[in-house]
Amino acid sequence: MASIRRADYYTTKVSQRPGAGAGLLAAMKAAGVNLLAFTGFPSGGGAQVDFIPDNSVKFRRAAKKAGLRVSQRKTVFLVRGSDRVGALTGVLGKLASKKINLVALSAVTAGNGRYGMIFWVKPRDIGRTSRLLRAR
47-100: pLDDT as tens digits: 999 999 999 999 999 999 999 999 999 999 999 999 999 999 999 999 999 999
Strand partners, 6: 77
* Alpha helix segments (H runs only) across the chain: 20-30, 56-65, 89-97, 126-133
pTM for the model: 0.91
Domains 9-72 and 75-133 share a fold: yes
pLDDT band, residue 136 (cuts 50/70/90) = confident
pLDDT of residue 41: 92
pLDDT band, residue 12 (cuts 50/70/90) = very high
Distance between CA atoms of residues 53 and 98, nearest Å: 29
Listed by start position, the domains of the chain span 9-72, 75-133
CATH of 9-72, one of 3.40.50.2300, 2.102.10.10, 3.30.70.260, 3.90.1300.10: 3.30.70.260
Domain 75-133: CATH superfamily is: ACT domain (3.30.70.260)
